[in-house]
Structure formats: structure tokens, C-alpha cells
């Protein structure tokens, strides 16, 4: 079977789909090649992600990755969310086919962008090395 049961489950019943009005941070990334877009909304209280929602216009692996990634960061401190890698998301899904790994990268980057948005909006100093420049990122190209 190409996709694990967990991937199919999160694809068919994605968790945390939607929009947060007045979100504290919003991150959007797109993959130029496949045209898929992912948007993450964060509600942040005392550096803790109290709520997270996503909208993904993309393939099943991208939807499953967003669903799993949001589950993994919900209720967690920002610093933990910043450490979430696309590999950890793919592992939590019991793996993705090699040619679908880039879909999980969208989730990692959308979360980072949402946190960066929160830092910028609130004038909070941040470590630039934690935020790779998505424009020059090679994963999606
Ligand atoms: Fe575009 Fe999966 S094929 S994110």
C-alpha cells in the first residue's frame, strides 16, 4: 500500500481544519511546482499555542501532513513548534512515499511562517537562523 492508514485517516478526517478569526499569527506557503498552498492560523497565549487551524489547497499528503502537524503543536510552547521538522510529521504519519516528502515540508514551513508573523506583529526579537528563507528553499523547487 502506497499510503499508511494514518495518512489515509488524516486525509479523510483532517483535524483542525478552518480559520481562526483574529489569529495571532498566520503563515502561508506554496509550492511553485505543484501549485499547492497551505495556510496556518495560530492563537497564542503566553507563548503557548492554545489553538491552531489550517486550510490546505493541495494533495492528500499535504492535507494529512497539515492535520498531523497541527495536532503535534496544539497546546505546545512556541519553541517546541519551531523545532517540529517535516521528518517528524512524516514519521508520525507512519511515513510518506519518497516523492511525497515535499508535501510535509509545506507544513513545517507554514508553521514557522505563522510564528514569524506573530513575532513580527508583536515586535518580539527572534533568532533569524530558525527561519530559513522560504523563497530560496530548495525543497519545493
Ligand atoms: Fe504539492 Fe503534495 S503534491 S504538496
Each residue of 56-110: pLDDT tens digit?
999 999 999 999 999 999 999 999 999 999 999 999 999 999 999 999 999 999 9
Q: What is the pLDDT of residues 1-51, one digit of tens each?
A: 789 999 999 999 999 999 999 999 999 999 888 899 999 999 999 999 999
What is the structure's pLDDT at 110? 96
Tell me which H or E stretch contains 52: strand 48-57
Percent of the chain with pLDDT over 70: 92
* 102 in a structural domain: yes
Judged against a pLDDT cut of 90, whether residue 136 lies above it is answered with: no
Say what the pTM is.
Answer: 0.91
* 41 in a structural domain: yes
Contacts of 140 (CB under 8 A, 6+ apart): 30, 31, 32, 33, 102, 105, 106
* CA-nearest residue, atom 2 of ligand 1: 103
**Which CATH number goes with the domain that contains 17?**
3.90.1010.10
Judged against a pLDDT cut of 60, whether residue 138 lies above it is answered with: no
Pocket flag, ligand 1, residue 117 (CB < 6 Å)? no
Pocket flag, ligand 1, residue 36 (CB < 6 Å)? yes
* 43 in a structural domain: yes
> Phi and psi at residue 14, in whole multiples of 5°?
-65, 140
3-state SS, residue 83: coil
- Report how many domains make up the chain: 1
Q: Which domain holds residue 78?
A: 5-136
Percent of the chain with pLDDT over 90: 84
Please give the distance, rounded to the nearest whole angstrom, from the Cα atom of residue 122 to the centre of ligand 1. 32
* 141 in a structural domain: no
What is the structure's pLDDT at 132? 67
* 16 in a structural domain: yes
Which residues belong to the active site? 34, 103
pLDDT range class, residue 124, cuts 50, 70, 90: very high
What is the structure's pLDDT at 141? 35
Q: What is the dihedral of CA 137, 38, 58, 141, to 10 degrees?
A: -10
Judged against a pLDDT cut of 90, whether residue 122 lies above it is answered with: yes
Please give the distance, rounded to the nearest whole angstrom, from the Cα atom of residue 46 to the centre of ligand 1. 33
* CA-nearest residue, atom 4 of ligand 1: 103
Atom of ligand 1 nearest to the CA of 36: 1
CA–CA distance, 39 with 41 (Å, rounded to integer) = 7
Amino acid at each position: 500500500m502506497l499510503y499508511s492508514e494514518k495518512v489515509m485517516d488524516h486525509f479523510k478526517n483532517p483535524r483542525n481544519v478552518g480559520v481562526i478569526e483574529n489569529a495571532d499569527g498566520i503563515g502561508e506557503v506554496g509550492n511553485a511546482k505543484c501549485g499547492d498552498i497551505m495556510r496556518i492560523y495560530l492563537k497564542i497565549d503566553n507563548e503557548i499555542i492554545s489553538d491552531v487551524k489550517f486550510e490546505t489547497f493541495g494533495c492528500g499528503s499535504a492535507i494529512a501532513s497539515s492535520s498531523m502537524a497541527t495536532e503535534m503543536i496544539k497546546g505546545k510552547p512556541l519553541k517546541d513548534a519551531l523545532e517540529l521538522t517535516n521528518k517528524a510529521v512524516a514519521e508520525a504519519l507512519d511515513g510518506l512515499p519518497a516523492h511525497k516528502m515535499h508535501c510535509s515540508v509545506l507544513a513545517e514551513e507554514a508553521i514557522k511562517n505563522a510564528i514569524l508573523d506573530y513575532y513580527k506583529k508583536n515586535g518580539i526579537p527572534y533568532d533569524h537562523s530558525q527561519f530559513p528563507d522560504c523563497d530560496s528553499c530548495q525543497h519545493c523547487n
